[in-house]
Amino acid sequence: MTDNPTPTEAPQALRVFVVDDHAMFRAGVRAELAGRVDVIGEASSVAEAVSRIGALEPDVVLLDVHMPDGGGRAVLEVVRRTHPQVRFLALSVSDAAEDVIGLIRAGARGYVTKTISSDELAAAIRRVAEGDAVFSPRLAGFVLDAFASRSDTAVADPELDQLTNREREVLRLLARGYAYKEIAKELFISIKTVETHVSNVLRKLQMSNRYELSRWAADRRLV
């Protein structure tokens, strides 16, 4: 009499946690990744993310860069100290070099923009879980350049330092010629919020119009 073969267990789905301050975007990610990975939780703030990631211990965290209470880097730096096995993949609207480099230096395994397709995102999550580094094509050059030059000794810019991350994001898009409506759509915020950020930037930098802001941003290579 022959023994029956032991059935092969199906591979366990990757456990993914989503951190983003926009509920509609989180819902969209869940829908796009359904059946590909197991989205076990989500958070909209730094404090909530740190608490829930610590409790759930996902394989991969999808992490937005800019949030009102500190952003993705703050989440990453706290969680990495207590749960070093958790891997992070930045998923952001921002393609600015300083955002990419900052997150990678803090310990993220990859950085992709929100224009990524659902198939590409699922593949990126798998690769990060396996220990690979993953970047949207044009972002890889930022990382290579940064680590080749070791540009840790950048000169401080007091004017730039007084702007919040969100204000810098709005300024960058404004300098690229985006209209307020386009900026609002790109950043998932209201036109009124865009106007408020622009007013704050103008006040802090003591400028009077968007054209002066554009020149200022171009001089600092923020565009």
Distance CA 52, CA 47 (A): 9
What pLDDT, on a 0 to 100 scale, did the predictor assign at position 151?
Answer: 46
The pLDDT value given to residue 144: 63
pTM of the full structure: 0.63
Q: How far apart are CA 166 and CA 94, in angstroms?
A: 10
- Using an 8 Å Cβ cutoff, are 108 and 133 in contact? no
- Measured CA to CA in angstroms, residue 14 lies from 104, 124, 129 at distances of 22, 12, 8
Contact assessment for residue 76 and residue 88, using Cβ atoms and an 8 Å cutoff? yes
Do you know the residue count of the chain? 223
- Backbone dihedral angles phi then psi of residue 209, each to the nearest 5 degrees: -155, 170
* Full set of structural domains in the chain with CATH: 15-146 (3.40.50.2300), 160-220 (1.10.10.10)
* Full pLDDT tens readout for the chain, 223 residues: 455 555 545 467 899 999 999 999 999 999 999 999 999 999 999 999 999 999 999 999 999 988 877 788 889 889 988 898 999 999 988 878 778 888 888 889 889 988 899 999 999 999 999 988 888 877 766 666 655 555 444 455 777 888 888 888 888 888 878 889 988 888 889 999 999 999 999 998 898 888 788 888 877 767 6
